[in-house]
């Protein structure tokens, strides 16, 4: 009986193909779950910074090492109270305005944090509502849309717990005319 050289064994292309597909699926899911994922903008609440149907990459790693900062645009799960039982819970995207422990107020068309008026050259129009003053809970954030007067955000339903934050919007990849880093 002739000896078979183990280095010359035949490889089954079906097995190799399934292994490649399996590894690709595991890597894709792992990257999406732990590193980055694509999201789209379904509403005008972040105009003019983000437009309806913009496509973004949301990175999920940096907040494991450093907390969100004022001005970051974050994707997060809204509080459970905003989603009726049995309905799909969609992620929101807003800008971080108030950090844990800060006192925030919206008055006379301005956002005031710890007594200092924020300079906000990124908003659609000054807010036409009054809110606060309120102290942001520990381990929570106050988030507002850049289209302040057409945004369902913290001034309507409260603070976002830190554990609800999915990640930071980093890059716009669609439409082609607007590709690039998202400005802070």
What is the tens place of the pLDDT at every residue in 122-159? 999 999 999 989 999 999 999 999 999 999 999 999 99
Cα angle 100, 68, 126; round to 5: 80
| Position 184 confidence tier, pLDDT thresholds 50, 70, 90 | very low
CB 159 within 8 A of CB 142: yes
Residue of 147 and 18 predicted with greater confidence: 147
Q: Which residues belong to the active site?
A: 45, 94
93 Cβ neighbours under 8 A, 6+ residues apart: 39, 41, 45, 46, 50, 56, 73, 74, 75, 76, 169
Task: Tell me the per-residue pLDDT of 66-119, one tens digit each, with 9 for 90 and over.
Answer: 999 999 999 999 988 877 777 777 889 999 999 999 999 999 999 999 999 999
Kind and range of the H or E run holding 143: strand 140-144
Is residue 65 pLDDT above 50, yes or no? yes
- List, in order of start, the domains of the chain with CATH numbers: 39-82+89-181 (2.10.109.10)
> Furthest-apart CA pair in the chain: how many Å?
94
What is the C-alpha to C-alpha distance for residues 113 and 97, in angstroms, rounded to an integer?
A: 8
């Amino acid at each position: 009986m002739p000896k078979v050289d183990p280095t010359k064994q035949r490889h089954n292309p079906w097995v190799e193909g399934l292994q490649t597909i399996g590894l690709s699926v595991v890597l894709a899911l792992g990257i999406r779950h732990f590193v980055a994922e694509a999201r789209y903008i379904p509403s005008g609440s972040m105009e003019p910074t983000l437009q309806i149907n913009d496509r973004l990459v949301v990175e999920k790693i940096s907040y494991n090492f450093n907390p969100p900062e004022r001005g970051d645009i974050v994707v997060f799960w809204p509080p459970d109270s905003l989603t009726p039982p049995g309905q799909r819970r969609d992620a929101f995207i807003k800008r971080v305005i108030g950090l844990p422990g800060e006192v925030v107020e919206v008055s006379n068309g301005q956002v005031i944090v710890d007594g200092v008026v924020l300079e906000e050259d990124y908003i659609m129009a000054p807010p036409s509502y009054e809110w606060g003053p309120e102290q942001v809970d520990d381990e929570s954030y106050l988030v507002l849309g850049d289209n302040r007067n057409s945004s369902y955000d913290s001034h309507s339903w409260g603070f976002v717990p830190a554990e609800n934050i999915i990640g930071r919007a980093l890059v716009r990849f669609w439409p082609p005319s607007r590709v690039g880093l998202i400005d802070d």
